[in-house]
Structure 1
Amino acid sequence: MIGRRALAGLIGAGLLLPPSTLAQGQTPPAGQPRFAPVRPGTRLRFPADHGAHPDFRTEWWYVTGWLQAGSQTLGFQITFFRTRPAIDQRNPSAFAPRQIIFAHAALSDPAVGRLIHAQKIARAGFGLAEAQTGDLDLVLDDWGMVRDAADVLHAQVRDDGFALDLQLTPTQPVILQGEAGFSRKGPEPEQSSYYYSWPHLKVAGDLTRQGRRVAVSGEAWLDHEWSSTLLDARAVGWDWVGLNLEAGGALTAFQVRDAEGRAVWAGGSLRNRAGAVTIFQPEDVAFVTRGWWRSPRTGARYPIARDVQVRTAEGLRTWRLAPLFDDQELDSRPIGPVYWEGAVRGDGARGYLELTGYEAPLAL
């Protein structure tokens, strides 16, 4: 999810050297890191794989969900990123940015009519910014996400505009996306990531705005993904949706798009209420646009009203989605790109839709 604008911002801040153009498996110049490859057949192990994978180039933990705060219905997003810059690893300084941690948080409130957004960034180290290995334990100043011994996830973000202190309790096991967690993102096998999802997380906690704290409850979704490879050269961005289904199932669908809006690759999964999982091939997934919204700030035009179609053994299934409200554009410059990240609902489902590469092509 880090794009050209994100890289430009990090380079300008002196935290990152220009990214390596090496493909997976190529030998880097002396002193630069050799990024770990993503390979099929690698078994994901928990709780270790809830934690960080610092040998890989990039990684994110992405939580989205719907909250009820009294009579108000809200959406929220909390995302932590870890990236390993292509810097000279022989630098002995404790201040060398061997790992960068950054994070986004956003609140979708229809009464406000646009996202309330906050973000942070720091080089890893000194206990102020860390992504621990072995289990989920993320720290970025006074933001954090950790898994406790009871398998409950605790997430905290604090900013001038809002603060969230949430407990996310699993009600279902994780879903290993793709081939047992090996998830293709392009026509070449090396264009892949390790990827799992954790749907139907029960949410409880507090939301603070304008000095007023209110109890919230709801349901959320966690995606955790890590990789070292670039997208296909034709790709400019992707569309992704994760839906908690009211009947207890969960739908993941994505497509990586080219400049003409055609799918370079597509995939996802459907888990039914009994726990059976269908893994989609590229030809099984389609995003059909019913309506667009143009940002008054960036001029980007987003297809926010979508039909998501997936082919299963029982035939074609369609979810007709509508946003909680139109203006859920997230402008994370200079740390990250501009993209649409919004709460959506429809056809017995609630979740989040992510639309990237519409304001400018992503470079990842």
Structure 2
Amino acid sequence: MKARTWTRSRRLAIRQGENSRASAGAWLLLGSLLLGGCEPPAPEPKSFAGLGQQAGAYRPVTPNPELVFPRDHGAHDGFRIEWWYITANLQDAQGRDWGAQWTLFRSALRPGPETANWVSPNLWMGHAALTGPGSHKVSETLARGGVGQAGVQAQPFRAWIDDWSLQGTDGIGQLDMRASGKGFRYQLKLVSGGPLVLHGVKGYSEKSGKGQASYYYSQPFYRVSGEVEREGQRVVVTGQAWLDREWSSQPLAPGQSGWDWFSLHLASGAKLMLFQVREAQGQPYRAGTWISAQGEAQPLLGEQIELQPLAFTLQDNGKRLPTRWRIRLPAQGLDVQVEALHSKAWMTTRFPYWEGPVRVSGGVQGKGYLEMTGY
């Protein structure tokens, strides 16, 4: 089976309702087919979505990076995986809460630069979701690199897959964000009001303590305005958004099954990113960043973070996931509870995971997003 077999249908999409549950091996098989081979799939990896597979000839992530902007807003040839990830906490005129997610993943099938046509090494995958009162709607689309269907350029900034797009008018300081799926769409304008934040040490973010890491920065200071539409009903919304940028070649160790990740906008103006990567055996690896209202970043290490699941929700796939958590940061005097707005925000995508808006209560109020993978 050769690549030209696929040229009659450039668009590959998995929409809500197909209930896709493909394994990491199936994703790798799809990649080999698109490259033009009929190799058997790779063995099922132990880590979520194969992210713990050995990096091989891909470029390594090493300490003391020198991130340069706007260059690093763009794609990074030679690294195996990267993403452009936006989550937005929104509210309408009636005071109802909404959440919008826009994500673009680049996955390299082999090391090397982008090339034209079907010999490109890159696959692209887009996820979009709209969470609103009583519903969580999801869409996914896949694309082949090298044919113009998907990509990212740094200057002027543009990220797209099919008709979903992030379009920058001032680097990434201002973005127009658009996506749609079955029964929903959104069109939002994002304007940043603070600096970029580098996580870990100068953007080098460890994930295991054993050498696995990513380059990781965020823009957590977006103000948002625009419109969401659900089942034909349009709603004007405003709110806050958070952009995450990561790239790596092996972000997980083979024995790490997945992660729990939080991005929180606190009423004080401070921001908080934290995550734990769960180990098949042993304690999870925890890290994070405390961000002042002025954008000053303070790295958080595992012993500074207390993270406890408080309540679990049975998802439609039969799995029970923690949808209410307690977070304590003693050094910052923070002790809060984080609870999902929609407890069944399960992403019915090729690699299923949970992603949805949350509210913060307790010592301080706030809003944010929670992502849980590998369950």
Structure 2: 5+ residue runs without aligned partners? 1-20, 43-49
Matched, 1:94 2:117: yes
Is the partner of 2:252 in helix, strand or coil? coil
Task: Kindly indicate whether the alpha-carbon contact (under 8 Å) linking 1:101 and 1:131 is maintained by their aligned counterparts in 2.
Answer: no
Is the partner of 2:26 in helix, strand or coil? helix
Q: Quote the sequence identity (%).
A: 34
1:272 aligned partner: 292
Q: Pick from 55, 80, 87: which aligns with 1:57? A: 80
Distance 2:197 2:314 in 1: 34
Aligned-partner residue type, residue 74 of structure 1: W
Over 3 Å counting, the alpha-carbon distance change for 1:259 and 1:133 in structure 2 is same
1:11 aligned partner: 29
Q: Pick from 198, 222, 238: which aligns with 1:217? A: 238
TM-score of the superposed pair, with normalisation by structure 2? 0.83
Map Cα deviations across residues 286-309 of structure 1 (whole Å, 9 max, x no partner).
2101111111x2111101110122
Structure 1: 5+ residue runs without aligned partners? 27-33, 359-364
Over 3 Å counting, the alpha-carbon distance change for 1:284 and 1:131 in structure 2 is same
Task: Compute the displacement of 1:221 (Å).
Answer: 0.7
Task: Kindly indicate whether the alpha-carbon contact (under 8 Å) linking 2:61 and 2:248 is maintained by their aligned counterparts in 1.
Answer: yes
Q: Pick from 336, 342, 354: which aligns with 1:340? A: 354
Matched, 1:254 2:275: yes
The 5 A counterparts of 1:76-87 are: 76-86=100-110
Matched, 1:235 2:256: yes
Distance 1:179 1:141 in 2: 35
Distance 2:99 2:75 in 1: 26
Task: Compute the displacement of 1:170 (Å).
Answer: 0.4
Task: Compute the displacement of 1:212 (Å).
Answer: 3.7
2:149 aligned partner: 128
Distance 2:242 2:318 in 1: 30
Map Cα deviations across residues 37-75 of structure 1 (whole Å, 9 max, x no partner).
211111111111111112210001111121123323211
1:203 aligned partner: 224
Task: Compute the displacement of 1:126 (Å).
Answer: 2.5
Matched, 1:300 2:313: no
Aligned-partner residue type, residue 259 of structure 2: W
1:355 aligned partner: 372
Distance 2:116 2:176 in 1: 33
Q: Pick from 186, 189, 196: which aligns with 1:167? A: 189
Distance 1:250 1:275 in 2: 8
Over 3 Å counting, the alpha-carbon distance change for 1:7 and 1:154 in structure 2 is farther
Task: Compute the displacement of 1:231 (Å).
Answer: 1.1
Aligned-partner residue type, residue 258 of structure 2: G
The 5 A counterparts of 1:108-187 are: 108-112=131-135, 115-134=136-155, 136-149=157-170, 151-187=173-209
Task: Kindly indicate whether the alpha-carbon contact (under 8 Å) linking 1:237 and 1:257 is maintained by their aligned counterparts in 2.
Answer: yes
Over 3 Å counting, the alpha-carbon distance change for 1:201 and 1:92 in structure 2 is closer
TM-score of the superposed pair, with normalisation by structure 1? 0.85
Matched, 1:106 2:124: no
Task: Kindly indicate whether the alpha-carbon contact (under 8 Å) linking 1:240 and 1:353 is maintained by their aligned counterparts in 2.
Answer: yes
2:328 aligned partner: 309
Is the partner of 1:11 in helix, strand or coil? helix
Task: Kindly indicate whether the alpha-carbon contact (under 8 Å) linking 1:243 and 1:349 is maintained by their aligned counterparts in 2.
Answer: yes
Task: Compute the displacement of 1:146 (Å).
Answer: 2.3
Distance 2:148 2:114 in 1: 20
Is the partner of 2:34 in helix, strand or coil? coil
Task: Compute the displacement of 1:117 (Å).
Answer: 0.5
Map Cα deviations across residues 1-46 of structure 1 (whole Å, 9 max, x no partner).
xx9724514524723675698744x5xxxxxxx3122111111111
Distance 1:257 1:162 in 2: 33
Distance 1:124 1:131 in 2: 10
Aligned-partner residue type, residue 67 of structure 2: L
2:6 aligned partner: none
Distance 2:114 2:244 in 1: 33
Structure with bigger helix share is 2
Over 3 Å counting, the alpha-carbon distance change for 1:235 and 1:220 in structure 2 is same
Is the partner of 1:66 in helix, strand or coil? strand
Is the partner of 2:23 in helix, strand or coil? helix
Matched, 1:324 2:341: yes
Map Cα deviations across residues 96-153 of structure 1 (whole Å, 9 max, x no partner).
24111111011112233xx200111111123221222456321211111122137201
2:67 aligned partner: 44
Over 3 Å counting, the alpha-carbon distance change for 1:55 and 1:135 in structure 2 is farther
Q: How many residues align?
A: 337
Task: Kindly indicate whether the alpha-carbon contact (under 8 Å) linking 2:77 and 2:114 is maintained by their aligned counterparts in 1.
Answer: no
Over 3 Å counting, the alpha-carbon distance change for 1:345 and 1:199 in structure 2 is same
